[in-house]
Structure 1
Amino acid sequence: MRPRARCFLYHAATDSVLLITRFKDGQHYWTVPGGAVLTDETAAETVQRELLAELRLHLTPGQLRPLAETVRHGDPETYFVAELAMDQPLTIHSVELNQERANNWYQPQWVSRDSLVTKLPYLNAIARLATAQLAERIPAGAL
């Protein structure tokens, strides 16, 4: 059992969410930023560590809002949502950058909030919940 923690990062100005588009072992798929929980680390600490290492994003504990817990492939996963106010392009750093090849790449990409369910069919219920929770955070008249 390998617990994981992930975070849907929301950019209100563009009504978009940061996902990772991934190509590995001949398969293209989308995933939510995050990673494996280390020993003696909370799920929130995992999200903070992974986002800082991979994307150079610093989140405070107060920015992370719990969304859901589930089990995928026998591993527990904890999901959070957080809002970001940033406009600079994001690039991959850390281990993922060092492992990038023509047949293995990992790229952050902002996608519309409404496309989460389509891009994450394997996380249908969580993607729907994230879409709904993020919609509640949009100020009236913003759309």
Structure 2
Amino acid sequence: MAGSLVFTYRKMAHTAWGIGHHLNASIDPMDDVLIVTGQWTGAIKEDALSAMSFGVPLAATALTAAGSINKEAAIIHLLKQNYPGFARMWGEKMAEEAAKQSAIRLAAPAGLAALSGGLTAYAMSQFGKCATAYYEEKVSKLGPNF
């Protein structure tokens, strides 16, 4: 189950980056997937996307330049400071997905693979909607390929 969730989350990240590429947005893989994940879990509300789409990466770059912290660690630090429930909400969202998958696999291991796949597709679709909103906001504020 854990391997399946890791694989699914990785595919969700690829989906987000593909959407960003399709919208001609600059792709910052770690920055973007953390922000989209925050939106997907509910830790980051849509009205905060404008600040998140360029404020966090700029602040992270400043933190990186000021010390010996790498950019990904700086972004995680900023998310923890500004959205204290981010890690908890991510864990809850992934646990929710795992519970759905486990229940289906235990209920009828041989017969409900399509339902399991449908739940995965739904989660990926929701993640994709969050990525679309994020990258559209990023392009509207920073321009294409910033």
TM-score, normalised to structure 1, is 0.32
**Where is the helix percentage greater, Structure 1 or Structure 2?**
2
TM-score, normalised to structure 2, is 0.31
Larger Rg: 2
The structure, 1 or 2, with the larger RCO (C-alpha pairs under 8 Å, 6+ apart) is: 2
**Where is the strand percentage greater, Structure 1 or Structure 2?**
1
